[in-house]
Structure 1
Amino acid sequence: MDIREIIIPGDTPGIEWRLPVLHFKGNDPQAPKIYLQAALHSNELPGTAVLHFLCGKLRKAESEGRIASDITVVPQANPIGAAQSHFGEMQGRFDLGTRTNFNRDFPLISLRDRAGLIESLDRYRAADRLKRELIHMALGADLVLDLHCDDESLQYAYIDEAFWPEASDLASALSMDAVLLSDGESSAFEEAVGFAWKYEVPGEKRSRLPGKLSTTLELRGRRDVYPGMASADADGLYAFLAARGAVTGETEPLAAFAGPAAPLDNIEMIRTPVAGTVLFHRNIGETVATGDLLATIVTKPGMADGEVEIRAPQAGLIVTRISDRLVRRRGDLMKIACDAPSTALRKAGTLED
Structure 2
Amino acid sequence: MKQSAIVIPGDTPEISWHIPVLEFSGPHANAVQKVYIQAALHANELPGVAALHLLCARLGEAEAAGAIRGDITIVPQANPIGAAQAHFGEMQGRFDLGSRGNYNRDFPLIASSARHELLLGLDRLTAPERLKRELLNRALGADLVLDLHCDDESLPYAYIDSAFWPEASDLASALQMDAVFLSDGESSAFEEAVSYAWKQERGGKDVSLPGRLSVTVELRGRRDVGPNVARRDADGLWAFLQARGIVEGDAPALEPYSGPAFALDTIEMIKAPVPGTVLFHRDIGERVEAGDLLAVLVPRPGFPEHDVEVRAPQAGLVVTRSSARFARRRDDLMKIGCAGNTEAGRKSGALED
TM-score under structure 2 normalisation? 0.98
- Number of aligned positions between the proteins: 352
- Map 1:310-349 onto structure 2 (within 5 A): 310-349=310-349
Partner of 1:194: 195
State the 1:26 CA deviation: 2.7
Partner of 1:33: 34
**Partner SS, residue 285 of structure 1:** coil
Structure 1 unaligned spans of 5+: none
For residue 320 of structure 1, what is the amino acid of its counterpart? T
Partner of 1:86: 87
| RMSD, matched Cα | 0.9
Q: Does 1:308 align with 2:308?
A: yes
In 1, distance between residues paired with 2:135 and 2:58? Answer: 24
In 2, distance between residues paired with 1:123 and 1:301? Answer: 52
In 1, distance between residues paired with 2:221 and 2:205? Answer: 35
Q: Contact between 1:243 and 1:252, CA under 8 Å: does it hold in 2? A: no
Partner of 1:114: 115
For residue 176 of structure 1, what is the amino acid of its counterpart? M
**Partner SS, residue 58 of structure 1:** helix
Per-residue CA deviation, residues 274-333 of structure 1 (Å, 9 max, x unaligned), is: 000000000000000110000000011111422000000000000000011111101100
Partner of 2:145: 144
In 1, distance between residues paired with 2:311 and 2:11? Answer: 47
In 1, distance between residues paired with 2:32 and 2:282? Answer: 45
In 1, distance between residues paired with 2:131 and 2:178? Answer: 32
In 2, distance between residues paired with 1:342 and 1:281? Answer: 21
Per-residue CA deviation, residues 218-241 of structure 1 (Å, 9 max, x unaligned), is: 000000001000001100110000
State the 1:248 CA deviation: 1.2
State the 1:251 CA deviation: 4.1
In 2, distance between residues paired with 1:276 and 1:314? Answer: 24
TM-score under structure 1 normalisation? 0.98
In 2, distance between residues paired with 1:77 and 1:302? Answer: 46
**Partner SS, residue 162 of structure 1:** helix
Q: Matched residues, percent identical?
A: 66
State the 1:6 CA deviation: 1.3
State the 1:204 CA deviation: 3.5
Per-residue CA deviation, residues 100-147 of structure 1 (Å, 9 max, x unaligned), is: 000000000001000110122101111000100000000000000000
Structure 2 unaligned spans of 5+: none
For residue 224 of structure 1, what is the amino acid of its counterpart? D
Partner of 1:6: 6
State the 1:253 CA deviation: 1.2
State the 1:206 CA deviation: 4.9
Q: Contact between 1:145 and 1:216, CA under 8 Å: does it hold in 2? A: yes
**Partner SS, residue 100 of structure 1:** coil
**Partner SS, residue 305 of structure 2:** coil
State the 1:43 CA deviation: 0.3
In 2, distance between residues paired with 1:244 and 1:9? Answer: 37
**Partner SS, residue 101 of structure 1:** coil
